[in-house]
Amino acid sequence: MSIRTTSGIAQRQSLLDLQRTNERLAMNESRIATGKRLTKPGDDPTAAALILDFGNSIQANTQYIKQADSALSFLTTSEDIVAAAIDANMRLSELAQQGLNSTNTGTSSAIVAELDGIRANLMSLANTQDQGKYIFAGTNTQTPPFTDNPLNLSPAPAPPYLVPPTYVGNSGTISLDVSASTSVATNTPGDQVFLGAGGPAGSNFFQAISDLRAALLIPNNAAGIQTAAGEIGTSLDFLSKVRTDLGGRQSSLNSLKDMLSNFNLSLQDMQNTQEATDYPKAAVEYASDQTIQSATLSAMAKASKTNLFDYLG
């Protein structure tokens, strides 16, 4: 006679197998319900590290895009004002021509009145703020960059001379980082834009306005008007170069933003690939583990049905 006994080792192994199967079932059930392949870093440490790295890169690029938007706001406002200054310059050229063609003192006075209005508007534009900062003040952004001066009451017969405004900003530039290796200057100092700093002789716009005003108030002063008109033409050329520079910086920033946005989309796709549930695979594994679970439970149930006859040979 032989005695047959149920192996304790086999029972424990079946319990361990059942536990592992239940864990896989729970994990795949969570994956299917949440759409996320990883429920904790330990599920796939390599993938978890990649997901974290992708997320950090996306966050950094998003911050760079915000920096680029801030820079674009300053640059766009600056270009709009320079464009307005160019329009004003062109109108001043027309007024100078009218002054050359006019011999009527009353007409000259009307021209000077319009010129004074243009100058006052330019003073306001030169002291423009954006995001609470004076954009033409260099790095001294909390102080209006231009202060006006009173008429210089020259002795007769010279007419009162309008002194150009005083620039109290500085020539500093403000840069923002827009990528890990790129920064952009967000401003153009006002002494460059309106006073021609760094430009050729005669590119001081406010000086040209003052010279034209004085020339118009002197009767039969064609030579003086022509000289001032030449200064206005020089300042127009210089303002056009400033505007081109501002436009170039905006174009570069927009291209950089597009590149960063597209890069973020690629990173997001790669992150999703690592993170998202592979539904077909999860469903197959879930169904397989259900079958394994049922088979294990059935085998364990049969093994536990022992009676006296199981020990008789």
pLDDT band at 75 (very low <50, low <70, confident <90, very high): very high
pLDDT 10s digits, 248-293: 999 999 999 999 999 999 998 888 777 766 656 656 666 676 777 7
Is residue 37 domain-resident? Answer: no
Residue 170 has pLDDT above 90, yes or no: yes
Is residue 205 domain-resident? Answer: yes
Distance CA 228, CA 216 (A): 10
* Beta-carbon count within 10 A of 8 CB: 8
* pLDDT at site 287: 67
* pLDDT at site 271: 81
Is residue 250 domain-resident? Answer: yes
Query: Model's pTM, two decimal places?
Result: 0.74
* CATH number for the domain harbouring residue 81: 1.20.1330.10
CA–CA distances in Å: residue 242 to residues 94, 198, 203, 208, 247: 22, 11, 12, 17, 9
pLDDT band at 152 (very low <50, low <70, confident <90, very high): confident
Is residue 309 domain-resident? Answer: no
Q: What is the mean pLDDT of residues 39-60?
A: 83
Q: What is the mean pLDDT of residues 121-128?
A: 96
Is residue 282 domain-resident? Answer: no
The number of folded domains in the chain is 1
* pLDDT at site 3: 47
* pLDDT at site 308: 47
pLDDT band at 1 (very low <50, low <70, confident <90, very high): very low
* Beta-carbon count within 10 A of 132 CB: 7
Region of residue 200 (phi > 0: left; psi between -120 and 50: alpha; otherwise: beta): beta
Is residue 298 domain-resident? Answer: no
Is residue 45 domain-resident? Answer: no
Is residue 5 domain-resident? Answer: no
* Domain span at 251: 52-269
pLDDT 10s digits, 85-117: 999 999 999 999 999 887 555 567 889 999 999
Residue 62 has pLDDT above 70, yes or no: yes
pLDDT band at 151 (very low <50, low <70, confident <90, very high): confident
* pLDDT at site 72: 95
* pLDDT at site 133: 94
